[in-house]
Structure 1
Amino acid sequence: MDVDISRLRLLIQTLDQWAGDPAITDRVLTACSLNRTDAAPPAQSYSAHREALFVRYACDAVEDITFGARAGLGFRTTSSITAYISKYSRDLRQVMENTTRFHRIIDPALAGKLRVSGNVASFELNWKDPSYSRYHRRTEFLLFAVIARLRALTGVKLHPIEIRFQHEIGQHARDYEKISGFPVTFGAERLEVLLPLSALDLQIPTYDPSLREHLLEYGERLLAERRLPKERTRAKVEGLITRSMPGKVVQADEAARELGLSLRTLARRLADEGTSYREIVEDLRCDLAQTFLKNGMAMSEISYSLGYADQAAFSTAFKRWTGQAPSTFRDRVEHPIYSS
């Protein structure tokens, strides 16, 4: 699954400036199986998974989990078809409607939807590939990038009513409001950007109806030619597990019923993909546990979120996954991992 290369270029530039040492960026790129040549022209796209890893490792490298959000706020230009359609749209309403229609061309893992209720407009994002929902730092990068793009298109420093994330962030919630200047909520029911209804009437200075119509026709052809990627059974299972949290991890038999499968068929399909239900649960718990520890969440809160009966059970599992106690891991990640 690939995404627009302009995002990688922005991330590289931001990390270069932040770290003050290109070698640090090079080490982060290497950890993601990337290099600077991968971002150079004529490259147009790269792996969404590697993007997620880059944002994660960059946060570790600069010891600041807001790196992705800050980088997103610096997002201005992109060469994607949706960007050009937006550039020549009449107003922000058309931009949001077009993005809803064509977003899967630039990011097949997400689907957007514009909802209007009362005096509030909501741009809601839903995971088409739930396996990407675990990458919290990338999710923050994407939503803050939405705000930056809307500002760039309108020429107005638009302030949303609120941005809402589904994941928890622990003690760092205020850091995001400080860098953005608007309310940011974590642990919300939906992943969305809330705007005042009046914002939809903001005009786009580069509006060109004829160019827009031509690009819309081209966008429709791309949609017709591009098949939706077949969702893996693992991704579906990860989505079910993630939605069952916090406080519970859905069991395999219940997941099978949700997917309309027998337990045996679910196990067979996962085996065909080289995994098992238990392996998926363990992998997801391990990955999220490390993210939560970096977030500064309390150990008791992490234990509950991941569905453990108590903190001791979580600590035992974490030692099995990583070979170290959660407290030891937290102490280690306080030091930059790519500084030498």
Structure 2
Amino acid sequence: MPQPQCSQDVERQPTVLSSWIKVLLLALRDHGCNADLLLQESGLDHEQLADPDARLPLAATTRLWDLSVQALEDETLGLWVPCYSNQNTFHALGYAFMASSTLLEALQRVARFNAMVSDAARVELDVGENSVVLSWDLWTPDLGPSQEAMEAILSLILRSSRKIRGKDFAPLKVSLLRKRCADETPFREFFQAPIEFGADRYRMEFDRAELEQPLEWGNESLARSSDRVIEDYLKQLEMGSVATRLRNLLVRDLPGGALGHEHYARELGMSGRSLQRKLSAEGSSFNQILNETRCELACSYLGQTPRQSLTEIAFLLGFSDTSSFSRAFHRWTGVAPGAYAP
């Protein structure tokens, strides 16, 4: 029989690394825009940008990009904003990219570590016999990223590649979601390649042989060292989520009975309202985390040999009696505890 799922995947709201937004603000100021006003109108503030490792809500950063395009009246914004970035913008990823032994390795790092920049898209690198395609599949198109934000990512990758391969380096083909352009010339001149407008996803296709040519300034030791820094950052990013920290506290406390969200908010160093807001930003809630944690533990206990009694399991999960536990377990999984087979 199909096994019940004890927990559902939490649909987190995508985020963007704050240092990438600092690049946009720098570009806006240099072009005479009131960047502070646009930042405020987007729902962001300077306090959120103070930490270079901070994560910003994708919806708010998309709003900032949209406001920037309106303020400058420039649909090519994404092509030139990366001029204001540097090797530190994406921390260790920038160093790993530039120290790669080949451009193929550099693009492999882009696909592998994309979540460091933003978890708004699934990035794939398809290595074929003669060509290599780097593509982005957006998770939540309704939240963003904006067209200009994604075009800025493609522009940054191409500009970085040209720094280490030469100014004439170009893809074989580029695909953009943008359907119409008042003037396509700036896009074609920048990419130096045929462009498919109105595509179903963002893509850049390259000649494989060209990507596999050794890079003069490749440094495998530096690149791998940077890889480890990125891996540690991504691990901390997952460990640092409020939902994960709350789940750990609940596992500790459930045998004695779970306490209210205000109690756990204090343990996490925030107000009850802040806890609710942060969990909501991660696509979850206190009750959802509580139920998921109880269900995961219940499935674990029921799968042990010898199996503990339902009374003991109910106690370990903080239920007042067996019948309450049984009703809850059936609601979570669709089967009674006694019928559960791991």
TM range (shorter): 0.5 to 0.7
Secondary structure, in 3 states, of the residue corresponding to 1:51? Answer: helix
Change (3 A) 1:69 1:213: closer
Instruction: Name the CA distance, whole Å, in 2 between partners of 1:35 and 1:155.
Output: 38
Larger radius of gyration: 2
TM-score normalised according to structure 1 size: 0.57
Q: What letter corresponds to residue 112 of structure 2 in structure 1?
A: R
Partner of 2:52: 43
The 5-angstrom pairing of residues 1-340 of structure 1 reads 1-18=14-31, 21-22=32-33, 24-35=34-45, 38-39=48-49, 42-47=51-56, 48-72=58-82, 75-77=85-87, 78-133=89-144, 135-154=146-165, 156-224=167-235, 226-227=237-238
Q: How many angstroms does 1:103 deviate by?
A: 1.3
Change (3 A) 1:202 1:107: farther
Q: How many angstroms does 1:189 deviate by?
A: 3.5
Secondary structure, in 3 states, of the residue corresponding to 1:50? Answer: helix
Q: How many angstroms does 1:162 deviate by?
A: 2.3
Partner of 1:324: none
Instruction: Name the CA distance, whole Å, in 1 between partners of 2:203 and 2:144.
Output: 14
Instruction: Name the CA distance, whole Å, in 2 between partners of 1:27 and 1:145.
Output: 26
Secondary structure, in 3 states, of the residue corresponding to 2:142? Answer: helix
8 A contact 1:166–1:187 mirrored in 2: yes
Secondary structure, in 3 states, of the residue corresponding to 2:199? Answer: coil
Instruction: Name the CA distance, whole Å, in 1 between partners of 2:123 and 2:63.
Output: 23
8 A contact 1:173–1:186 mirrored in 2: no
Q: How many angstroms does 1:160 deviate by?
A: 1.8
Secondary structure, in 3 states, of the residue corresponding to 1:68? Answer: helix
Instruction: Name the CA distance, whole Å, in 2 between partners of 1:105 and 1:215.
Output: 13
Q: What letter corresponds to residue 168 of structure 1 in structure 2?
A: K
Q: How many angstroms does 1:59 deviate by?
A: 0.9
Secondary structure, in 3 states, of the residue corresponding to 1:194? Answer: strand
Please identify which structure carries the higher helix content: 1
Unaligned runs of 5+ in 1: 230-271, 274-340
8 A contact 1:96–1:114 mirrored in 2: yes
Instruction: Name the CA distance, whole Å, in 2 between partners of 1:50 and 1:44.
Output: 17
Change (3 A) 1:177 1:8: same
Instruction: Name the CA distance, whole Å, in 2 between partners of 1:143 and 1:191.
Output: 9
Q: What letter corresponds to residue 165 of structure 1 in structure 2?
A: L
Unaligned runs of 5+ in 2: 1-13, 242-282, 285-342
Q: How many angstroms does 1:187 deviate by?
A: 1.2
Change (3 A) 1:68 1:211: closer
The C-alpha deviation readout for 1:5-34, integer Å capped at 9, x for no partner, is 33222212222222xx35x22322221133
Q: What letter corresponds to residue 23 of structure 2 in structure 1?
A: L
Instruction: Name the CA distance, whole Å, in 2 between partners of 1:182 and 1:75.
Output: 23
TM-score normalised according to structure 2 size: 0.57
Q: What letter corresponds to residue 61 of structure 1 in structure 2?
A: A
Change (3 A) 1:172 1:211: same
